[in-house]
Homo-oligomer: A and B are copies of this chain.
């Protein structure tokens, strides 16, 4: 009665290290249909149940033919543990109960397995024939030992670079777009389920929250309803935010501790918090009743995910026009910006921006920051996260501090570093300013003051501000130089169309 066209395991050649593509560019993220990352505040909090619940809410009560993609990039404990097989099996069971007369077509693939798995794995399968599957479950990399992927990878000889994980995931996400090519935006949904907690290492040792950053996939956080779970959920949420992820919902299993209260208060209604009924502890329970009783929550969650997706798409489309309407860009003649010339920057990771592009389809695509942001180069991906953490720390520890006659450690450490570095051998003090133009003005004023003292101008006319003495004072400047846009800084360069009368007729 049911058609399950394929349960298949494809084995790729294993090298000690799977090569990445020749380019270090991460792949593009298709936006034709909603894609979400499912994160857990800890291991064992029920990420896979949540994925299955979303799949059921999406597939089994939809009036139109829908398609759900479940991707598990990193699976350890395989084959006895297989989250994608679990989702595949549960959806089969649920489909049988809910829609006994409409068969669910589904497929299940495992793409790369470690040699340890290959040696003992009983699973095998072929691509089936039949109708296009509505549920497509894939495991991208699988290891046998039930430990963190970085340990399993090392021990079992399937070491995978971050770029290879991203590339394989990128290919799967393109498959999602291709499979759903003829369908409406709301008829295809893809979830990518991470392994362990948000900061659990991937196979290279990189934390998963760092590993997946280039894609900028919005997130659902599966929290922890147990004792201590408020803390773990909030901390996991903060680790995601500290890497620039948008979390659209927090969902967790109820353990009777009312964890939702403090979580909702922490979120200040900015992120919805959903509570699932307690999960039966009996391993023999098939969870069918639990899924039925959770149906309303998962429908709710699915709606939140869809509407956040539509909001995001709308925003990405609207932003260029809105920016033109209400923003004045620096160094820009607005009339000369062509239609379609506004770049929508969705995020940055290392030297790449993630920008919104509408070509054949809509994508979030990497774009190298070749202009190095005009004046400075962005830090590499790891350093960017470290900087974000240090900025958060400094803001939390000091906030706004007035500086005169005060001292605090970051300022003092920075001064010391500057004097030992760029100022070595000539500078004995530091003066902090807010931007380059202001710094140039400060340097000019210092020079003027020194000049005045050296030429005895100060001693003789102390506080005589009305005495219009004429003094020969010149500032040497390079041709075609640029030192900033304040009037003084603009004067301190050779005459050009930016320094003449028309630009600053006052001086």
**Which residues of A are interface residues toward B (Cβ below 8 A)?**
41-44, 146-148, 150-151, 196-201, 205, 207, 216, 227-228, 230-232, 234-236, 238-239, 241-245, 257-258, 261-262, 265-266, 315, 319-320, 322-323, 325-332, 337, 341-348, 353, 369, 371, 373-374, 376, 378-379, 384-385, 387-389, 391-409, 411-412, 415-416, 419, 428-432, 434-435, 437-438, 441-442, 444-445, 448-449, 451-452, 457-458, 461, 463-469, 471, 473, 475, 485-489, 491, 495-497, 499-507
Inter-chain CA distance A232–B397, complex, in Å, is 22
Of all chain B residues, the one with the shortest Cβ separation from A147 is: B257
Q: Which residues of B contact A445 (CB under 8 A)?
A: 485, 487, 503-504
User: Distance (Å) between the CB of A428 and the closest chain B CB?
Assistant: 7
Inter-chain CA distance A492–B441, complex, in Å, is 15
User: Distance (Å) between the CB of A292 and the closest chain B CB?
Assistant: 29
Q: Which residues of B contact A374 (CB under 8 A)?
A: 402
User: Distance (Å) between the CB of A464 and the closest chain B CB?
Assistant: 8
Q: Which residues of B contact A232 (CB under 8 A)?
A: 42, 197, 199, 232, 235-236
Q: Which residues of B contact A449 (CB under 8 A)?
A: 503
Closest 6 CB pairs of A and B: A197-B231, A244-B397, A465-B500, A392-B392, A43-B228, A487-B488
A-B contact sample (11 more), CB < 8 A, given A434-B438, A467-B501, A471-B505: A200-B228, A201-B230, A201-B262, A205-B262, A243-B397, A244-B394, A327-B415, A342-B407, A387-B399, A437-B486, A486-B487
Q: Which residues of B contact A378 (CB under 8 A)?
A: 399-400
B343 touches A405 (CB 8 A): yes
CB-contact partner of A323 in B207, B407, B467, under 8 A: B407
Q: Which residues of B contact A495 (CB under 8 A)?
A: 465-466
A196 touches B397 (CB 8 A): no
Inter-chain CA distance A262–B206, complex, in Å, is 8
A465 touches B499 (CB 8 A): yes
Inter-chain CA distance A409–B495, complex, in Å, is 38
Inter-chain CA distance A44–B42, complex, in Å, is 14
Q: Which residues of B contact A266 (CB under 8 A)?
A: 199, 207
Q: How many copies does the complex hold?
A: 2
B397 touches A497 (CB 8 A): no
Q: Which residues of B contact A486 (CB under 8 A)?
A: 437-438, 441, 486-489
Of all chain B residues, the one with the shortest Cβ separation from A491 is: B506
Inter-chain CA distance A344–B105, complex, in Å, is 68
Inter-chain CA distance A429–B200, complex, in Å, is 45
Q: A197-B231, A207-B266, A407-B343 are in contact. Are A244 and B441 (CB under 8 A)?
A: no
Inter-chain CA distance A53–B182, complex, in Å, is 64
CB-contact partner of A438 in B379, B392, B437, under 8 A: B437
Inter-chain CA distance A402–B376, complex, in Å, is 9
User: Distance (Å) between the CB of A409 and the closest chain B CB?
Assistant: 7
B408 touches A327 (CB 8 A): no
User: Distance (Å) between the CB of A159 and the closest chain B CB?
Assistant: 15
Inter-chain CA distance A506–B448, complex, in Å, is 8
Inter-chain CA distance A448–B504, complex, in Å, is 7
Provide a sorted-by-A list of 16 A–B residue pairs whose CB atoms are within 8 angstroms: A41-B235, A43-B231, A199-B234, A205-B261, A207-B234, A234-B239, A242-B396, A323-B407, A344-B408, A384-B395, A441-B485, A445-B487, A448-B504, A486-B487, A487-B487, A488-B506
A407 touches B238 (CB 8 A): no
Inter-chain CA distance A384–B262, complex, in Å, is 18
B197 touches A405 (CB 8 A): no
Q: Which residues of B contact A373 (CB under 8 A)?
A: 400-402
B403 touches A497 (CB 8 A): no
Q: Which residues of B contact A319 (CB under 8 A)?
A: 407-409, 412
Inter-chain CA distance A369–B403, complex, in Å, is 12
Q: A409-B315, A497-B463, A501-B468 are in contact. Are A400 and B376 (CB under 8 A)?
A: yes
B505 touches A242 (CB 8 A): no
CB-contact partner of A242 in B238, B344, B411, under 8 A: B238
B412 touches A322 (CB 8 A): yes
Q: Which residues of B contact A388 (CB under 8 A)?
A: 392-393, 395-396, 399
Among A205, A431, A438, A444, find the residue whose CB has the most chain B CB atoms closer than 10 A: A438
